[in-house]
Amino acid sequence: MGFNILRTTSISTPISSSKSKPIFSTLLRSSPSTIFPPKSVTPTTLFVSATPFFTLHPKLGFRGGIVAMAAPGSLRKSEEEWRAILSPEQFRILRQKGTEFPGTGEYDKFYEEGVYNCAGCGTPLYRSITKFNSGCGWPAFYEGIPGAINRNPDPDGMRTEITCAACGGHLGHVFKGEGFPTPTNERHCVNSISLKFAPANSYS
């Protein structure tokens, strides 16, 4: 999606823990039932989850960080399930890799402070401080939140598609080396309809 411009979850981390008592050498003289009790302790699985955190810096403005996110591929659904929760246009773009017309998207000229989440599953994808005006007709970002976005070459090898790492939703395409004055020299060209903006104050 887009044109080349010749210028620019919760992660659920299983922590297995089991209660065990040290067996000292003095127990070697005990009966087998003492050393190996009949009831073994069943390991339990704890899930530690984290959420996005956002702060307002008095001089630097909105700052954001993601301490964890949904595991890659953890929010997959069937086509029928996606059709039930997405609008027809969301389904066309997110699940069928469509493209909205340039200059028509809600977030093309939108520059509020906050975070852009996946419209399909809600996973945070981009921070507003990485958004810039590329003039391409679609929202442009110079980088995504680490681990939130997958890259895959299009079948024709001409472009690189970007998708939500959690649910696989189509976002758009990424272009490199266009000469925009950004830290990464990349342009993530994203469909507005693939995103859902959350203002900074919604996390306060």
What does the pLDDT look like over 49-65, one tens digit per residue? 333 333 333 333 344 45
User: Could you give the strand order of the β-sheet that contains 170-176, starting from the edge strand earlier in sequence?
Assistant: 131-132, 140-141, 186-190, 170-176, 160-164, 149-153
* Residue bearing the bigger pLDDT, 56 or 114: 114
Query: What is the average per-residue pLDDT within 38-46?
Result: 37
Taking CA 126 as the corner, what is the angle to CA 134 and CA 54, rounded to the nearest 5 degrees? 125
Residue 192 in this model has a pLDDT that exceeds 90 = yes
25 φ/ψ angles, rounded to the nearest 5 degrees: -65, -25
Domain ranges (residues) in the chain: 71-203
What's the pLDDT at 125? 98
Band (pLDDT 50/70/90 cuts) for residue 202 is: confident
Domain boundaries 71-203, CATH class: mainly beta
How far apart are alpha carbons 143 and 107 in whole angstroms? Answer: 16
Would you name the residues annotated as active-site residues?
A: 189
The proportion of the chain whose per-residue pLDDT surpasses 70, expressed as a percent, equals 63
* Residue bearing the bigger pLDDT, 73 or 98: 98
What's the pLDDT at 76? 84
Name the least confident of 69-83, 123-137, 175-189: 69-83
Band (pLDDT 50/70/90 cuts) for residue 73 is: low
Residue 69 in this model has a pLDDT that exceeds 60 = no
Band (pLDDT 50/70/90 cuts) for residue 204 is: low
Query: What would the pLDDT profile of 8-19 be if each residue is shown by its tens digit?
Result: 333 333 434 444
Residue 171 in this model has a pLDDT that exceeds 90 = yes
Residue 41 in this model has a pLDDT that exceeds 70 = no
HSE, CB side, 13 Å, CA atoms: give it for residue 164. 33
Query: What is the average per-residue pLDDT within 29-45?
Result: 40
